[in-house]
Amino acid sequence: MKKIFYLFLFLGQTIFAQKIYTVNQIVGQNLNGFIETFDDTTFKLNILDVKTIQKSGVFKPLNGTEIKKSHSIANHWVHFRLNSKENRSLILELDNPRLNEISFYKIFGDSIVNQVHTGDSKLFNTRAIANKNWLFPIEIDEKTIDIYLMLNKKYEALSTNIALFEAAQYNILSQKIYFYWGILLGLTCFVLLLNIFIWYATNDKIFGWFMLIIFMNAFHISAATGLGFQYIWSDFPNFNSFYPQTFSTWLVIAFQLIFMQLFIGQTAQNSRVYKVVKIFTKSIFLLFIVFATILYFGLIEKQYFQIMLIISLIINFLIIPLSLISIFERIQKREKIILFFTVVSVFKTIVLFIYLANLILKFTKFDSLDVVLCNFLFDLIVLSIGVIYFGFSKYRHQNELLLTTLHASEQAQSKKIIEALEIERNRIAEDLYDDVGAMLSTAINYQSSILRKVENKEKFPILVESRKLLDRAVENLRTVSHNLMPKNFATIGLSKSIEETINKIGQNSEISFYYQQIGVEKKLGAAKEVQIFRIAAELISDILRNSEATNATIQLIYGKENLILMAEDDRGIEPINNNLASKVDFIDAKLNIDFGVNGLTIIVEIPY
């Protein structure tokens, strides 16, 4: 009976004899046509069982070098045979870092020379070589050896390419790859630190949500590539599975929607889909909580992957119309920030459509990680620049509004103070004119009655001098009270009040004052005209105090766009008068001073 069994076994080996791959020195040696596979649906076969099955010819040739299963329900065994004419150090690479369990066997004859049991469900230090991908060293020395691999990705999608490299050549290639990943890491850290600094400086939520988008995308990429498992959570293999990455994708989409609403200023008042976007965002967070709970308790293990995949596709499809509608609602206003975000959204939509089209047409190798990487680089370089630019523009605009509000508040406060001062000026002017003026007039009448007698003038000449002093005091009192506020200012208006003031001053001054009005007088409001009158009085006072002039001219020119108050003298001294400048600033006027050898000219331009 044994002889018959060995006879059939020999015939099976002869009929199904596998081709032997002879190792050469080509980088990424192509094993196409030399690999055979077998699916263990029982999940129970060991290497000895599989060796026996392989010898019986049950293994099937693999078309190409990629193992691909849309829904894995077996342990997938891989076998190929190698030989070499000289001693070689090789590296076997599986380029999918997310394989739950992997068993590697190097067999010479009937002896297992080397075996490795690892996987992303085990600690990182179980790997044969520390690398983001699965690497297995193979030493070969003029002998024919068998390589067996067991790949397990139970109830998930399995896709990995099998490649063979010369060890020295692979090390050079690996260093280049890690160098590029290092550049991406540096750029990511720089963008995150920059946004943290700006967020702290401006306290703007946009930068916080943008950082969350970058952080979750970085987590997804580091998990999908195996870099996170290698450098960050090597003792926590659960983070390296498919599901945390899927959850991170959901959170990225939710964060993007919140960021979009803040960035473009979408509100319930300016958007019809504002509430829809809000509900969709909250639904994503709810799905995250529900499916994280289901995963934790293992409630639907067999269908869990497929359900999550379907939900992920639905979420990715729904975000496209919501984003585009939100943008096109506002694009008619041609705001820079909306146009910028339109370019960003259109780019990401095109990338997603290319990926989906590739799934159907298969025109190139383009997986979901490529989509994430493409969008991530675009966010790091283009979107981050836009966020910083428009964020600072918004911050600057808010500061300008704050300064404008503060200036308006200061003006309102100053107006109240000036109004209070005007009331007090009027009261003082009335008191001076009515009370003090009346008392002085009474004193003058008393003296007049005494001085009517000639003998009193001769006997008391001092009374004549005191009468003159009283007359001058009354005149000065009238001038002061008139400068404080002309008693009939509201009746005669600004121009007549200035003219009247100049006429009264000119009667007792050695300087010849001239007044001229040009244009038709326009009413500017009582408060503003009072301030203009104060400025004119200040100019006249400066001429009297600080000038050795003989002639001075005051002009009031009513132009088309503004009122010009001009003061000129023929021998002026440039005044240093803070009161004048503050009065001019208060009515938003412009002060120009022209000081020359022929005199001084001061021009105040007052907008209507």
Rounded distance, CA 133 to CA 173, Å?
13
**Could you tell me how many residues make up the chain?**
608
Rounded distance, CA 406 to CA 194, Å?
30
How far from 207 is each of 128, 172, 217, 375, CA to CA, in Å?
42, 39, 15, 18
Query: Is 493 or 229 the better-scoring residue by pLDDT?
Result: 229
Give yes or no for a contact between 133 and 200, defined as CB atoms under 8 angstroms apart: no
Q: Are strands 158-166 and 145-152 parallel, antiparallel or unpaired?
A: unpaired
Q: What pLDDT is stored for residue 513 in this prediction?
A: 86
Q: Three-class SS string for 65-98?
A: CEEEECCCCCEEEEEEEEECCCEEEEEEEECCCC
- Between CA 52 and CA 59, with CA 58 as vertex, the angle to 5 degrees is 95
Mean pLDDT of 263-283: 93
Look at 171-180, 206-215, 246-255, 325-334 and tell me which has the smallest mean pLDDT. 325-334
Rounded distance, CA 56 to CA 14, Å?
10
Query: Is 209 or 396 the better-scoring residue by pLDDT?
Result: 209
137 membership: H or E segment, kind and range:
strand 134-141
Query: Is 122 or 451 the better-scoring residue by pLDDT?
Result: 122
Q: Three-class SS string for 244-311?
A: HHHHHHHHHHHHHHHHHHHHCCCCCCCCCCHHHHHHHHHHHHHHHHHHHHHHHHCCCHHHHHHHHHHH
First to last CA, the chain: 120
Q: What pLDDT is stored for residue 429 in this prediction?
A: 63
Mean pLDDT of 61-70: 91
Ranked by mean pLDDT, the top range of 438-442, 483-487, 498-502 is 498-502
Q: What pLDDT is stored for residue 436 in this prediction?
A: 66
Please say if the pLDDT value at position 487 is more than 60: no
- Token representation of residue 199: 């967020």
Q: What is the mean pLDDT of the chain?
A: 83
Convert the pLDDT of each residue in 572-606 to its tens digit: 665 556 667 777 887 888 888 887 767 888 889 98
Please say if the pLDDT value at position 7 is more than 50: no
Give the pLDDT band of residue 214 (cuts 50, 70, 90): very high
Give the pLDDT band of residue 381 (cuts 50, 70, 90): very high
Cβ neighbours of residue 121 under 8 Å, at least 6 residues apart? 100, 101, 237, 241
Rounded distance, CA 495 to CA 488, Å?
12
Convert the pLDDT of each residue in 340-353 to its tens digit: 998 888 888 888 77
- Token representation of residue 358: 């590739």
Rounded to 5 degrees, φ, ψ at 141 are: -140, 85
Cβ neighbours of residue 401 under 8 Å, at least 6 residues apart? none
Q: What pLDDT is stored for residue 414 in this prediction?
A: 61
Q: What pLDDT is stored for residue 311 in this prediction?
A: 92
DSSP type of residue 380: I
How far from 373 is each of 225, 232, 357, 369, CA to CA, in Å?
11, 19, 18, 6
Query: Is 223 or 302 the better-scoring residue by pLDDT?
Result: 223
Please say if the pLDDT value at position 419 is more than 70: no
Rounded distance, CA 112 to CA 103, Å?
12
Rounded to 5 degrees, φ, ψ at 18 are: -85, 145
Query: Is 463 or 71 the better-scoring residue by pLDDT?
Result: 71
- Token representation of residue 73: 């329900």
Ranked by mean pLDDT, the top range of 199-203, 223-227, 489-493 is 223-227
Q: What pLDDT is stored for residue 424 in this prediction?
A: 63
Q: What pLDDT is stored for residue 219 in this prediction?
A: 94
Q: What pLDDT is stored for residue 506 in this prediction?
A: 72
Give yes or no for a contact between 191 and 141, defined as CB atoms under 8 angstroms apart: no
Please say if the pLDDT value at position 276 is more than 70: yes
Please say if the pLDDT value at position 434 is more than 70: no
How far from 362 is each of 34, 156, 374, 513, CA to CA, in Å?
24, 21, 19, 96
Rounded distance, CA 60 to CA 78, Å?
10
Rounded distance, CA 38 to CA 151, Å?
11
Look at 222-236, 388-402, 578-592 and tell me which has the smallest mean pLDDT. 578-592
Nearest Cα to 149, choosing from 57, 20, 59?
Answer: 59
Query: Is 231 or 443 the better-scoring residue by pLDDT?
Result: 231
Percent of the chain surpassing pLDDT 70:
82
Q: What pLDDT is stored for residue 27 in this prediction?
A: 55
Rounded distance, CA 35 to CA 33, Å?
6
